[in-house]
Structure 1
């Protein structure tokens, strides 16, 4: 029996939709109100996942939640500075309550950079970037571990960077944080495999986001 191109497309579309469905899955995306995080929230929710995200800015968070509600996405959010341990704990307590003690997907997306030459970094710069970029991802992963294990189908994704492999101007601390994140992903993938938790790091290159535009403005001054 011959199948028309339209019929083939219809079958393919149905197969793709079924293959990539995230219906019934739960996800936590840190820093999901802008840049890559915003895109990740929309992608997960678009495939049917129930998503919780966080932002340091309440107004920004509320605006995004209204936007997602209008699109029919199931997304909730918390105000949280992930560099603070107490706020990290509160975030995971909220996630546990909303998702009945189980979490399928954790996206450690939050990241920041201060564009300076290596010798111009202060101790405060290093502490702030390390706590935001690396320590937050480590601690949130540890806090999320019981929820991921309980789901029996957990996945952790670290949003790293190509800068962790290739030196780039004005990003020494950021790149070092991301390199540490890559190594952490390797260790967790080994330690947590027995609990059916997959761990991966994604290394995007330059992406036009608000963070990139801010860095370019600083460098041009």
Structure 2
């Protein structure tokens, strides 16, 4: 009996160890010594992602269009003991994209991860009222700049033997938000960009996946939820009856960049509280 109890005890402890390992409890720093670039990362979803990647061991280079935002965010994250530096980068400018890549390589010796998060939405209203200039701006920043940023980073990731790209799209790419036509279309385009890049870059051992947040409570999305009645109506369309927080998006991006996701590419993961999106 004593021997049987000992064997059962050992079996239980072994199973607990396996369970803890699979849940990540015993695994620290899954991104240790990886170098990550995160665009538009001084606020909202981008900031939450940058913080989580750094918490999980990565050296993170953040960026934003304004120097004061970069300085503030770097000071905050470094104050939390995280390995974070930053640089001004307007993703619509080729010279800024190249400088971001060069800065990361010079500081950390290479690049393993790109999170492309930058986006604009200068229009709210009927699609028939959208001007050509608005279409050009939205598609240039939300779609073309993402493709060009990836193009700039791929040679450096390839030198490291492979890595990960995560493109931040939106559930609006599946189920359009009202009055945000150009933005919705640009996010649908990113779903296709993810599929194409994943196919082309697989031979270089570079995985490309997409995050599609639902309605996350940020300054960027405030036009959709700032009115209390609008917020309540939105909640009714969700299985989880609340708006998302930026941190709700961060863990899944870290997972997609880690070895735990080594067999995942070309996929879009919706983080939307059960917002209807697709079958």
Instruction: Please give the TM-score of this superposition, normalised by the length of structure 1.
Output: 0.89
Q: Offset at 1:217?
A: 5.8
Give secondary structure in 2 for the equivalent of 1:206: coil
SS in 2 for 1:28: strand
Over the aligned positions, Cα root-mean-square deviation in angstroms equals 2.4
C-alpha deviation, 1:167, in angstroms: 2.2
Structure 1 contact 189–197 (Cα < 8 Å) conserved: yes
In the TM superposition, what is the alpha-carbon distance from 1:20 to its structure 2 partner?
5.5
Could you list the per-position Cα deviations for residues 94-124 of structure 1 after superposition, in whole angstroms to 9, with x for gaps in the alignment? 1222232x21111001112132220221222
Post-superposition offset of 1:168:
2.0
Written as runs of structure 1 = structure 2, the 5 A alignment for 1:8-23 is: 8=16, 12=20, 15-18=24-27, 21-23=30-32
Paired residue for 1:151? Answer: 160
In structure 2, stretches of 5+ residues that fail to align are 1-5, 231-279
Decide which of 35, 47, 62 is 1:38's aligned counterpart: 47
Change (3 A) 1:17 1:40: farther
User: Does residue 75 of structure 1 match 2:74?
Assistant: no
In the alignment, the residues of structure 2 paired with residue 69 and residue 158 of structure 1 have an alpha-carbon distance, to the nearest angstrom, of: 25
The structural deviation recorded for 1:180 is 1.3
- Residue 21 and residue 193 in structure 1: after superposition, are their counterparts in 2 closer, same or farther (change >3 A)? same
Q: 1:53–1:75: 8 Å Cα contact kept in structure 2?
A: yes
Q: Does 1:116 align with 2:125?
A: yes
Aligned length: 217
Structure 1 segments unaligned to the other structure (5+ residues): none
Q: Do residues 104 (structure 1) and 112 (structure 2) align?
A: yes
Q: Distance in 2 between matches of 1:133 and 1:215?
A: 19
Question: Secondary structure of the residue that 2:141 maps to in structure 1?
Answer: helix
User: 1:112 & 1:216 partners in 2: Cα distance?
Assistant: 17
1:65–1:76 contact (8 Å) kept in structure 2: yes
Matched, 1:87 2:105: no
Q: CA deviation at 1:208?
A: 0.6
Q: TM-score, normalised by structure 2?
A: 0.71
The 1-side partners of 2:28 and 2:162 are apart by 16
Highest Rg: 1 or 2?
A: 2
State the alpha-carbon separation in 2 of the partners of residues 20 and 175 from structure 1.
35
Q: Residue 170 in 1 paired to residue 203 in 2?
A: no
Deviation at 1:23, TM superposition (A): 0.7
Give the C-alpha shift of residue 15 in structure 1.
4.8
Could you say which residue in structure 2 is the equivalent of 1:48?
57
